[in-house]
Amino acid sequence: MSAMPRGADSDRFARALLSCACEPGSASVGALVSDVGATRAIEQICQTSTSSRISTVDLTRVERAFEQADQVGARFVIPGDAEWPTQLDDLGDETPFGLWVLGASNLRLLALRSLALVGARAATQYGVRTASVLASDVAQRGWCVVSGGAYGIDAAAHRGALAVGASTIVVLASGVDHPYPATHAALFEQCRSSGLLISEAPPAEPARRWRFLARNRVIAALTRGTVVVEAAHRSGALNTARCAADLGREVFGVPGPISSTASAGVHALIRSGATLVSSADDVISAVKGDESDRQFDVADAISRLGVEASVTFQAVVAAGITSVADLANRLGVSQPDITADLAGLELAGLVERQTGGWAPTPPVSEHLQSHDTVQMLDFT
pLDDT digits (tens, 9 = 90+) for 327-357: 988 888 888 888 888 887 887 778 888 888 8
Domains and CATH numbers, the chain: 102-294 (3.40.50.450), 298-370 (1.10.10.10)
pLDDT of residue 372: 46
In this prediction, what percent of the chain has a pLDDT beyond 90? 55
Q: How, if at all, do strands 99-102 and 168-172 pair?
A: unpaired
For residue 199, list its beta bridge partners. 100, 172
The helix-helix angle for 27-36 and 10-21 (nearest 10°) equals 170
Check if the beta carbon of residue 145 is closer than 8 Å to that of residue 280: no
β-bridge mates for residue 145, sequence order: 115, 168
Measure the N-to-C terminal CA separation of the chain; round to a whole number of Å.
Answer: 58
Res 187: pLDDT: 97
What pLDDT is stored for residue 45 in this prediction? 80
Q: Per-residue pLDDT for 115 more than 90? A: yes
Residue 7 confidence (pLDDT) above 70: no
**What local confidence, expressed as pLDDT, does residue 50 receive?**
55
Q: Is the pTM of this model over 0.85?
A: no
The average confidence (pLDDT) of the chain is 86
Q: What are phi and psi of 211, to 5 degrees?
A: -75, -20
Q: With a cut of 80, say whether residue 288 has pLDDT above it.
A: no
Tell me the average pLDDT across 275-286: 93
Neighbouring residues of 192: CB distance < 8 A, sequence distance ≥ 6: 102, 103
